[in-house]
Amino acid sequence: MSSLDFLPNSPTLANAGRATGQLAGCFVLKIEDSMTGIMKTMTDMAMIQKSGGGTGMSFSNLRPEGDMVSTTRGVSSGPISFMIMYNAVTEAVKQGGMRRGANMGILRVDHPDIAKFCKVKQTEGVLNNFNISVAITDEFMNAVEKDTIFELRNPKDGKVTKRVQAKEVFDQIIEGAWKLGEPGVLFIDKVNQMHALPGYKIESTNPCGEEPLLPYESCNLGSINLANMVDEKGNFNEEKFIDTIEVAVRFLDNVIDVTKFPMPEIKEMTKKTRKIGLGVMGWHDCLIKMGIAYDQPQAIEWADHIMEILKETALEVSTELGVEKGPFPLWGESIYHEWKHAPRNAERITIAPTGTLSTIANCSSGIEPHYKLAYVRNILDKKFEVKVELLNNQLEQYDITWDQIIANDGRIGKMNVNLKLKRLFKTSLEIAPEDHVKMQAVFQKHTEAAVSKTINLPFEATRDEVAKIIVLAYKCGCKGLTVYRDGSRQEQVLDSRTEWPKERPSILKGQSYKERTGCGSIYVNIASIHNKPYEVMTSMGKAGGCENAMVEALSRVISVSLRYGTPATVIIDQLRGIRCPNSLVGKPAKLSCPDVIGQKMEEEMAGQVSIATPGKKRNTCVCGGEMIYQNGCYECLKCGNSKCHTG
């Protein structure tokens, strides 16, 4: 740990030695279809989040909206209403007393309320403490492929409530994933087919999707820093890797015994299976140090080789522990029931997102490629330049600077630099979605639990492309998938803090534009600081009166908003499309003076890679920084604010 070769999950780091003593990172609960069951699970969720853990739950057992409730002679409000209630409780309870908790909400694809579930997060602010995924069955995927009818069934009695075209439901899932990155998909039959305890049914995962667990199971995670397994000559040190695995497996198994579980049911179930989640981080950095591009076939070969070592070594050590201390109590009902010496742990391998851990270890996150190579981050009111340090040695050789990289949105893909360097340091959006899926699939091949990874798509990606990626992941053997189309979400800016000067500098450089509108000629001047719009000034040619006064007032409001950190793309989105009676047709049409100002702001930013492309919506943090979506979580590159806190 001191050399950052291995780190356990955040709750272990934060709670070891403290009174709470809760060291597990993720939990799955079960919700029974009764008011008593629903309220009990909600209380359990709150207690787990208070202790620092994240929770996953399937709402598939709850009867659909409008279904008859015999005990009260009323009708059910459906699973979505209870998810909203759970979300409100999570909002009020801070995880570990420090931050709000995170949930995973699952609904089976054959549940009658599946259409509403797919759309629920399209309303801003609804279920903001939930990641949501659809539990997809093999039957459903076969029906989609053959374009046949699919039955929706009431979970209370199994009766068919509706027959629909499978592709209609699939399109609803795709629409949500394309618009918002949610719902994700969980291939639930594949999860249960590959489970170590085939007689027990898994219904849900932890908040980031890497841990499918039985009801009331918990799992403690840890990750090995693969970047530290490569020597100065670029050779992967297998001996060091194996030594680290051996220590890490014993470490994580010991964590189970010292953890103070939040409730007796969790302690009992966790110790029956003794699952641990050993994974990796720093994968992209590891490849860079070996001189291999992330999307190169050789990277897949190395992933296969490294994960085979991890899986086999972890099993050997766990089996040794089984001899020393005894196997997990349910081993007789597991796939190991005929083994002479069963392992200590029912499952051992997980690929987690490692958001916090990779920050501590200063390496790339999980198995993700770097999202950016350089950016500025604010922590405790101090500014830190975050850089991929492996690029440091290349700067002088290739005559590039960090300032140039930052000016190019933290990427070198569009810079005039060495092609090999560009390939090695490709960021997530510069890698083809199919290559993301292939990488996830090869890690899943050797992972007993699941893999947390985001398939990043460009803003221009179509719904059909999203659909193809989900089908590809299913066919490649992935247990689940999160697709995120860059810039597809837009958060409301609640507060603004920025390093920009709030007092206008005495000199600003800008571009001036003249455009004809239905109300006369308009002159728009846009000035920038750090390649971002800072001030907008407008006037209406010879026009006077209200027209000139209104556009001047509008430009002042825009300038103040920009100065206090409101992203320009948010302002553009408000201006574009406003019509007045004197609209001018053409390409592009001049719908109004505000519309023209929005057009000119778009044109000004078209060549500035640090700002979204024309018409593109960016996901923005309360500090004004850019939020990225990765591993089912949102994280601000500037201040570190996150909407998912597990791992």
Alpha helices in 388-508 (DSSP H): 392-395, 402-407, 419-424, 433-445, 463-475
Our answer to whether residue 210 is catalytic in this structure is yes
**Active-site annotation holder among 182, 203, 210, 368:** 210
| Structure tokens, 308 | 């085979």
Our answer to whether residue 206 is catalytic in this structure is yes
Structural contact between residues 294 and 435, judged by C-beta atoms closer than 8 angstroms:
yes
Structural contact between residues 486 and 618, judged by C-beta atoms closer than 8 angstroms:
no
Structural contact between residues 500 and 530, judged by C-beta atoms closer than 8 angstroms:
yes
- Give Cα 632 to chain centroid, integer Å: 2
β partners of residue 28: 56
DSSP 181: S
Closest CA to 150 of 468, 141, 172: 141
**Active-site annotation holder among 208, 593, 621, 623:** 208
What is the C-alpha radius of gyration for the chain, rounded to an integer number of angstroms?
26
**In the chain, count of helices (H) and strands (E)?**
20, 25
First-to-last C-alpha distance (Å) of the chain: 16
Structural contact between residues 277 and 211, judged by C-beta atoms closer than 8 angstroms:
yes
Q: 501: buried, middle or exposed (CB in 10 Å: 19+, 13-18, 0-12)? A: exposed
DSSP 589: -
Q: Report how far residue 592's alpha carbon sits from residue 517's, in angstroms, rounded to the nearest whole number.
A: 7
Our answer to whether residue 525 is catalytic in this structure is no
Structural contact between residues 512 and 521, judged by C-beta atoms closer than 8 angstroms:
no
**Active-site annotation holder among 131, 206, 345, 378:** 206
Dihedral class, residue 354 (left if φ above 0, else alpha if ψ from -120 to 50, else beta):
left
Q: How many CB atoms lie within 10 A of CB 356?
A: 19
DSSP 349: B
Q: Encode 504-520: b = buried (16+ Cβ within 10 Å), e = exposed.
A: eeeeeebeebeeebebe
Residue 439 half-sphere exposure, CB side, CA atoms within 13 Å? 27
Report, as residue numbers or ranges, the catalytic residues: 206, 208, 210
